Chain A
Amino acid sequence: MIEYLLLAPVLTGILCFFTKTRKQVEVVSVTGSIVTLLLGMALVVDVYRHDIIVTWQNALFADAFSAFIVLIVSIVGFVASLYSTGYMGHEFEHNIIDMKRLKMYYVLFHSFMFTMLLVGVTNNLGLWIAIEMTTLVSALLMILYSRKSSVEAAWKYMIICTVGITFALFGTILTYYASVKILGETGEALNWTSLLAVADQFDPTIMKLAFIFILIGYGTKAGLAPMHTWLPDAHSEAPTPVSALLSGVLLNCAMYGIIRFYTIATKSFGTEFGSNLLIVFGLLSIGIAVPFILLQEDYKRLLAYSSVEHMGIVALGIGFGGVFGIFGAILHMFNHAMTKSFMFFGAGNVLLKHETKEIDKVSGVVKSMPVTGTMLIIGGLAITGSPPFSIFISEFTILAAGFSQGHIVASVLFLLFIIMIFAGFFYHISRMTFGTPAAGVKSGDVSRWMLGAMAILIVFVIVFGVYIPPFFNEMIMKVVNVVR
């Protein structure tokens, strides 16, 4: 099962390489992502029934948490491939990229999908390898346009994340050292399934050290402050569908690494040390996003800083702990993935039409593009956590967990920060959406592919705000049980 899931994007990538025309490459890409989505769903159902699946001599595995990540990757990947058809097609029609680049884009897109799925299903601390691979592939996606700014962003991204991930490797080595003492020198000594059973016997000092390195390392990749400096550049300079994948999915993959280690580490040294670290980093990330969101001039960077904020919220939720805190954090990962990709798609529509990323130069989107404009307003409300949208539910759960676990100061700060972010963010969105469009901007919406992709996502944004389906609720509860 897992093998097929991994095989699907690889095959799609290879097939894309051998296509000749735009039509062919688009058909292959969309079909491939549908297959990936279906296989992902099948894996989720399988895990739902059997709890844990292990294959390939224990190298690959899936439990509820892996399945959850696979679900996010395959849903956002699917809609991003729909959106790509419209977006990259538009770039192709306007001769911004040629056929060779277009083909390259799809090959890399599906390789990127593969590496992200691999992060979810690796039964090994060698998760590190998969996360480093995501950096390598996505850096190539960023330099698809040879603009000065994209090259600069790609270089910063590559260097900062590689250094970060090197720290994570050191943390991994330390963990292996701790586990070898108990399990002996086998390949098994790095597997989640065997680590979890004996984690309480690990040396707490070493595990503390390891956790700090892991948190800094994967935290760099997850965009936690103060290691987030590459994120706004990379996420704003990448092609829009890739921005959505980077913000919505890749950050979650890195967060997944942190949470996995957190689960093992807390078994060894108790919850207090780890959760305090997560709360500090979480609050710092939310706090640092505030001024940058308030004074932002570029709407793609605005969304990128909002990703820093939301990853901070996830870290905070895990840090608060308890069933509610973790439930909120996991739910928030899902909600943020859907809402943020939705927003990036909206921003992409605006970018195609108005051809500028500056907030000041965009106005009257509701008039020039009625559908996109309306969606941007909904998305803007949703991403800042206003009811009745999905993010409100998860943020509220985390806040409630904070108060009930006695982290009063942290919770009050959290509340203050998100209120300020709400004001700043929505001010920018309303400046863009209302008013009259600049002269020379033709009215009329973008292609149906792009609006269709957004329509799929808006279902999650709205429905999960008022009603969480029982099976989904149960699935998240299973993840919570894995994490605790």
Chain B
Amino acid sequence: MSELVFGSKMMQLLIALILVSTFMILGSTRLYSCVRAFGIQSFLLAGVAGIVAYSTGKSDIYIVAILTLVIKAAVIPYIFIYIIREIKVKREIALYVNISPSLIIGGVLVVISYYLVRSINIRTELSSFALSASISLVSIGLFIMISRKKAIMQMLGILLMENGLFLGAISLTYGMPLLVELGIFFDVLIGVLIMGILIFRINRTFESIDTDMLKTLIG
């Protein structure tokens, strides 16, 4: 069943587009385009969940798809844009690793994830394509967190990782039980709000949201 769902052309296209949106985040120096790419990615994820829901006929997954659409594709990008606007941050993002090496590293991470999933060799019932995309998302999310200076990009990196895990969960087991899934949405939403508060606080105390400033506590 799972192979059927994930083998379909539509699904492969969606997952490929999700990867493309990840590279849009990697390849952009403008905060707004990063946020927009994240919104698109979440929209595509909702599409993946929608297809799984349609082909399995489970109402639980429909709820998850709708929540993804509302929370991740609309509310969270809105919060991002609100933060960017309120703290009048410079729209360019400062980088530790430049764009072109970033893109190359991203590509390498995707290849590694692909071979990693093949080497684990989880049985055929699982779509290895979706799982490798999910692990790529997680590792690229981590990479974005360490290679970008703005605190806001670290927040985006975490959300990217979370999106990757969402894709992983839905490809492995059609998502978690509804109760757990709802809890995760709750945590992600509250987490984004609290990170937003922290970013405001960082901006107020350090007059910048470059994480370069946060280097006083050592030893």
Contact = CB atoms under 8 A, between A and B. Distances in A.
A151 B142 contact: no
B14 interface: no
A139 B195 CA distance: 9
Interface stretch (B31-39, B69-77, B87-95, B178-186): B178-186
A401 B176 CA distance: 39
A133 B187 contact: yes
A102 to B, nearest CB: 18
B194 A149 contact: no
Contacts of A59: 179
Interface residues of A, number: 51
B120 to A, nearest CB: 7
Interface string A219-256: 00000000000001100010000000000000000000
B173 A152 contact: no
Contact of B183 (A126, A148, A151, A185): A126
- Tell me if A's interface is mostly helix, strand, loop or mixed: helix
B7 interface: no
B162 to A, nearest CB: 6
A295 interface: yes
B169 interface: yes
B64 interface: no
A192 interface: no
B174 interface: yes
A280 interface: no
Interface string B174-209: 101111100110110011001101100110111000
A233 to B, nearest CB: 4
Interface stretch (B18-26, B47-55, B78-86, B211-219): B211-219
B140 interface: no
A154 B214 CA distance: 10
Nearest to A166: B161
B198 A190 contact: no
B102 interface: no
Interface string A162-182: 110010011011101100100
A146 B204 CA distance: 9
B134 to A, nearest CB: 9
A136 B191 contact: yes
Interface string B1-24: 000000000000000000000000
Nearest to B142: A163
Contacts of A156: 214, 217
B217 A177 contact: no
B187 to A, nearest CB: 5
B165 interface: yes
A430 B79 CA distance: 51
Given A129-B180, A180-B173, A155 B198 contact: yes
Interface in A206-228: 206, 209
B122 interface: yes
Contacts of B214: 152, 155-156
Given A129-B186, A152-B214, A146 B219 contact: no
B217 A233 contact: yes
B106 interface: no
A172 B166 CA distance: 12
B138 A129 contact: no
A136 B173 contact: no
B179 A187 contact: yes
B183 A166 contact: no
21 contacts: A126-B183, A128-B180, A129-B180, A133-B190, A143-B197, A146-B204, A147-B205, A149-B217, A151-B205, A151-B206, A156-B214, A156-B217, A158-B195, A159-B145, A159-B158, A166-B138, A172-B176, A180-B173, A187-B179, A205-B120, A209-B120
Interface of B: 120, 122, 138, 142, 145, 151, 154, 158, 161-162, 165, 168-169, 172-174, 176-180, 183-184, 186-187, 190-191, 194-195, 197-198, 201-202, 204-206, 211, 213-214, 216-217, 219
Interface of A: 59, 124-126, 128-129, 132-133, 136, 139-140, 143, 146-149, 151-156, 158-159, 162-163, 166, 169-170, 172-174, 176-177, 180, 185-187, 189-190, 205-206, 209, 232-233, 237, 292, 295-297, 301
Q: Which 9 residue pairs across A and B have the least CB separation, nearest first?
A: A129-B183, A187-B177, A126-B180, A152-B214, A233-B217, A177-B172, A132-B187, A173-B169, A166-B161
